[in-house]
Structure 1
Amino acid sequence: MDANGEREQLDQVTRRLGARFQHLPADVITHAVTESAAQLAAATIRDFVPLLVEKQAREWLEAQDRY
């Protein structure tokens, strides 16, 4: 996967999480995705990065949602 393809998939992740967590500000969702992606920046196999980012960001947002 090239960088443009990964960026598009991460944009899709942000949109899906935005739809799921509509009551949270958009910048909080973007931050969760950006931070999750940053933690995986050094990953050598990039194919699963968007999936892992979505899982990690969703878990973080769910934890924030409990408070």
Structure 2
Amino acid sequence: MRLKQDFDLDNPLIKIEHLQKVFGTKEVLKDVNLIFPKGSTTVILGLSGGGKSTIIKHIVGLMKPTNGDIFVD
């Protein structure tokens, strides 16, 4: 088995820059920056209520960020 090691970080599949999400007065995501390289497998881990589902909902377009950008190739 060979693993692909040459990920192109200049042209990622998904790039999140300075993502912020506020619900009322509660800031649930603050300045999130992530890169998902093409050809990679990425896992998002965290405690309950840590924002994992909120990040995924932003990536697939179910939520709009308060601030920040999400780029999907």
- TM-score of the superposition, structure 2-length normalised? 0.26
Greater per-residue helix proportion:
1
Greater per-residue strand proportion:
2
Structure whose alpha-carbon radius of gyration is higher: 2
